[in-house]
Amino acid sequence: MEKKGNILMQRYEIGKLLGQGTFAKVHHARNLKTGESVAIKIIDKQKVMKVGLIDQIKREISVMRLVKHPNVVQLHEVMASKSKIYFAMEYIRGGELFNKVSKGRLKEDAARKYFQQLVAAVDFCHSRGVYHRDLKPENLLLDEFGNLKVSDFGLSALIDSKRQDGLLHTTCGTPAYVAPEVINKRGYDGEKADIWSCGVILFVLLAGYLPFHDSNLMEMYRKISKGEFKCPQWFPPEVKKLLSRILDPNPSTRITVSRIMENSWFRKGFKRIETPDLDLDEQSPRSILEIDDSDTESCSGKNKEDAQPAVAKKPNCLNAFDIISLSPGFDLSGLFEKDRSNSAKSEAWFTTQMPPSMVVSKLEELAVMESFKIKKKDGIVKMQGSKGGRKGQLAIDAEIFEVTPSFHMVEVKKTAGDTMEYVKFRDQELKPSLKDVVWSWEGSGTNLTQQTLPEENVS
């Protein structure tokens, strides 16, 4: 671990080891500025790259930025060094829910409370287009107040992961908790698969054992596929009925999250929690993956791999290769990005011969008209809508790059919210408001590289 003594990045004092896996270790740590306890997840960059898991790390960061909920473990920040990636996360003191269940079944009120918090967290994740895909008691933590926190989004999927049929196709999860349609490998709805796992967890909380357990894995899969389980006699009739709707092997007739939350047994003592707005200052998930391997060495010379903040920025100036790489005719992203077609709608570029101050001024005028919050930082204008959309508040970044002193390119991209709402806003509000400063939009029928650049750019 890169550290100077027990201090990481002059921000955290590293403490005892909490856990260890194949590619990562988790340590307790203390924030030197606030004194707050955190958990530092330390990932070996070379190991994850060697086995092709870098996309999984990207996805985990993206997901954890999206799901800011009281019943989800929070990601505070991401840092990186030459050989390590560091997650600074919320420290949960109470351990896994699995440890509590392993001692025996829970009382009805306790089981209901945990189930309510689980469903509330899952409902929020789904509203943000996030599917966990590995819900089980081992991934549910308890804080010092006994509140449940969903953790480990390493196998999660974003809505953009769906294929043209609208379904997910990656088989993953823990066998005893996985939905039958996931096992059958015919494509599945991420929401319905998570709901099934929630049902298995509810059964385990109340029974103290698994509904589909069998020493023979194929026999267990057969029971799961048929939905064959039997509730103990001590289960309340309402719970038996609810479980029969959740553990329905047919995903098309399986109960939805909204229906679960309307159930009379579920609603007893349940209170909805208001979720906070998305923070405009949050770090982009791409930054830790764009860090160069030639990170700055420590000033002391003793530690040549001191961690540096993972705030990798695009160059302030664009060269000819940068410009060509943005042209659809020279787009090489297909060699590296599998889902380029899904993400293309989330970003656009335009060029301008107006000074950056005028571009920013136009964006500020639009923000006022559309009731957007706006922040400016390091050449990036961040805009966040005040209305809650299908997947939360729409958030947009506009970053300005200098091609020549009198010629700039502006990248506009969605950082949160629904893609279709973003496209509608971009085409109906953003583009018309910027018509006086835009020279050319990328993809508007005339590509940047097909036009005559300002004379001073020719060499």
Name the binding residues for ATP: 41
Report, in angstroms and rounded to the nearest whole number, the Rg of the chain calculated over CA atoms: 25
Q: Please give the DSSP secondary-structure letter assigned to residue 96.
A: B
Annotated catalytic residue: which of 123, 134, 248, 418? 134
Residue where the block lists tokens 């961040």: 382
Cβ atoms of residues 133 and 171 within 8 Å: no
Q: Please give the DSSP secondary-structure letter assigned to residue 254.
A: S
Nearest residue to 305 via CA among 88, 87, 86, 84: 84
Residue where the block lists tokens 């004092």: 13
* Distance (Å, whole) CA 384 – CA 395: 4
3-state secondary structure of 368: helix
* Distance (Å, whole) CA 71 – CA 119: 10
Nearest residue to 55 via CA among 339, 410, 298: 339
Quickly list DSSP for 232-299: -TTS-HHHHHHHHHHT-S-TTTSPPHHHHTT-HHHHTT----PPPPPPTTPPPTTGGGS--SSPPPPT
Tell me, yes or no, if 134 is annotated catalytic: yes
Q: Dihedrals φ, ψ of 301, to 5°?
A: 85, -5
Nearest residue to 379 via CA among 316, 442, 305: 316
Single-letter amino acid code for the residue at 2: E
Lookup: tokens for 156: 């999660």
List all residues 6 or more positions away from 387 whose beta carbon is below 8 Å from its beta carbon.
Answer: 371, 393, 394
CA distances from 178 to 91, 196, 200, 417 (A): 28, 7, 9, 28
Residue positions forming the annotated binding site = 41
Lookup: tokens for 4: 């100077």
Active site residues: 134
